[in-house]
Amino acid sequence: MTLMQRDRENIELGREEGRQEGAKMALDIIRLHLDGKTDQEIAAMLSLRTDYVRQFLVDYENSQR
């Protein structure tokens, strides 16, 4: 295996791990929201910016229509 092939495989593994982490974070935001937590509480609990959580929830609500 060449270095280039190994690098490509590692890059793809990193992308997959990133997708999984993103999906987990999205589920955590939605679960906390459905549990009645505010945008600020969710942001604090997940170490995220409040405006990011707020925009995510707006997008989520719009997708449910």
Q: How many CB atoms lie within 10 A of CB 53?
A: 24
pTM of the predicted model as reported, rounded to 2 decimal places = 0.75
Q: What is the pLDDT of residue 4?
A: 80
End-to-end C-alpha distance for the chain, whole angstroms = 49
**Amino acid sitting at position 13:** L
Nearest Cα to Cα of residue 38 among 23, 22, 53, 21: 53
Q: Is the confidence at residue 1, as pLDDT, over 80?
A: no
Q: What is the pLDDT of residue 36?
A: 96
CB proximity list for 53: less than 8 A, separation 6 or greater: 29, 39, 42, 43, 46
Q: What is the pLDDT of residue 40?
A: 96
Question: In which band, very low, low, confident or very high, does the pLDDT at 65 lie, cut at 50, 70 and 90?
Answer: confident
* pLDDT tens-digit readout, 4-49: 888 788 778 778 877 888 788 999 999 999 999 999 999 999 999 9
